[in-house]
Amino acid sequence: MSEQAIDPDRVALSDEQLLLYFRKISFSFDVLTRVYSEQAERDNLEAHIVHGYTQRLRYTFDALLQKYRFDSQKHLRLDTTDSGFPHHYEFVQLRSDLELRDEKLAKLRSQRQIKQEMLNYMFARKEDPDALLSELAVRSYFDMLDADRLFLDFNQGPIEREDDEDGQAVWSCHWASFDSATNRPFIYLMSFTTSGNADLHNDADFRAEFFRTLRSHGSRAPKLNIVAASIDEALESVHPKMLKRIGLGPFHSSTFSEGLSAPLEELFRYGDDERRFALFVENEYLFSYREVVSTSLFSRDQVRQIFFIPQDDPALYDKGSSAVNKAVILPFKLIQHAGDQFTGMTTYPFDQKGEVHGI
């Protein structure tokens, strides 16, 4: 399939562009999943967690393809200028469709019935049954809607507890969101302690409040210290000690990205059409290095975390992070022509079979 230029003012893809886009981004996430899968085999707990979220994203891309394939009335909204991902709107709609799943399926014929009619139609008329293909895609899409497999606008992971050497409870949790401002998926991992009688395992009300707070303050992607401080302030007995954010993207490609830098545009002249892309990954870290007690005439004293942000590093100061590292996934053929434009990043080049090297 030949590549087609995208009108920078459009937010919808044609059928041909839709198929090409999902082949590219799905392949990039197949490669990303392999990176974390190999790390997970080394008993890397974080890799296990991230691997699970990348699998959810890959499954969600398949579901979105089914939703829009063979539908001439609706079009996938795509952020072609910044993130390279589907628009946040699509992930909000996924949650809405999930809530209506059973109602919709009750009104649709089964895949078996539709496929049988398709065979009869093609045998009798010797042409593609466009209306039936559209009906089958809709049925397949709603069959795929599974809260345990989809990556939604917000995805809550479990809470785990371990006791340190002094017997103090150290908690950890993770969640993921699709940010509305950047149209990118983010994965969060947090370790924290608690004070007072806080018990996230046995106190259902406190656990519900904890999850509401994460959803409220962890669904967006401002500076990392803002996320941590918001959680610290909202929950009196929760004290974040480490917060890590993994930002997936942007996903830049030769076909579906507008306003690329000159070096990337030049780089995308090389390699195979469907392999001209680069998927970036950014890891941000924030650490608490001490606590202070906040006092007020009108409220109880509250423990507050002081997070380490190097004041002499403008990039880290702007991000509100203690440390940042970046990686990029792209084909070997592009790496060979990249020069020094990925200096300072970890590179994960892959071959024609999608096998990753350098992990």
CB 140, CB 66: distance < 8 Å? yes
Entry pTM: 0.92
In this predicted structure, what is the pLDDT of residue 15? 79
Q: What is the DSSP letter of 220?
A: S
- Rounded CA separation 149/335 (Å): 33
Paired tokens of 344? 């300072």
For the chain, list residues with pLDDT below 50. Answer: 1-11
Domain ranges of the chain: 15-144, 154-350
In this predicted structure, what is the pLDDT of residue 12? 62
Write the burial class of residue 85 (CB in 10 Å: 0-12 exposed, 13-18 middle, 19+ buried). buried
The three-class DSSP label of residue 275 is helix
Distances (CA, A) of 273 to 4, 24, 43, 347: 11, 10, 36, 21
CB 8, CB 80: distance < 8 Å? yes
Beta bridge partners of 259: none
Paired tokens of 262? 């000159």
Paired tokens of 212? 């509401």
Look-up of token digits 């904890």: 210
Report which secondary-structure segment, H or E, holds 279. Answer: strand 277-294
- Rounded CA separation 335/332 (Å): 5
